[in-house]
């Protein structure tokens, strides 16, 4: 069963940001994708598409057991290439912008994760 699915649209050379629909269906998958190390918060997006650091991306994020879609105008903050060590999934880390919507999204993610945030289980992130 797929617990994370990403759909991407947009041209990499276009001035418009790439649009990514990311649906996370389980709390464990959210834990693996969430990036609490970024002050603003962030999310890992599995992708085989080529991105550059600092590239603008627009993520439409769906969280487990939450019907709302959260729009995030973020930036690529790191890239996990194909064949990365530790069997890490290829993709990008998207840093949330420093705004009120992102603070609310970070709070919502941390509310969903609760005690999972203190876990030492491996993630797809830093």
pLDDT tens sequence across 46-88:
999 999 999 999 999 999 989 899 999 999 999 999 888 777 8
Give me the domains of the chain, ranges plus CATH numbers.
4-117 (2.40.10.220)
Q: Compute the average pLDDT of residues 15-43.
A: 90
Q: Compute the average pLDDT of residues 97-106.
A: 94
Is the pLDDT at 11 greater than 50? The verdict is: no
Instruction: Count the Cβ atoms, other than its own, within 10 Å of residue 65.
Output: 8
According to the model, what pLDDT value does residue 16 have?
77
Q: Compute the average pLDDT of residues 85-97.
A: 90
Whether pTM exceeds 0.85: no
Averaged confidence pLDDT in the chain: 84
């Amino acid at each position: 069963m797929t617990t994370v699915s990403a759909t991407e649209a947009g041209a990499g050379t276009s001035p418009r940001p790439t649009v990514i629909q990311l649906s996370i269906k389980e709390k464990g998958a959210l834990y693996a994708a969430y990036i609490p190390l970024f002050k603003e918060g962030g999310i890992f997006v599995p992708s085989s598409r080529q991105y550059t650091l600092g590239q603008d991306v627009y993520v439409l994020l769906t969280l487990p057991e939450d019907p709302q879609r959260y729009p995030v105008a973020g930036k690529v903050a790191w890239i996990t290439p194909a064949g990365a060590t530790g069997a890490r999934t290829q993709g990008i880390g998207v840093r949330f912008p420093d705004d009120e919507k992102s603070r609310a999204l970070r709070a919502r993610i941390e509310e969903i994760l609760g005690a999972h945030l203190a876990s030492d289980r491996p993630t797809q992130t830093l």
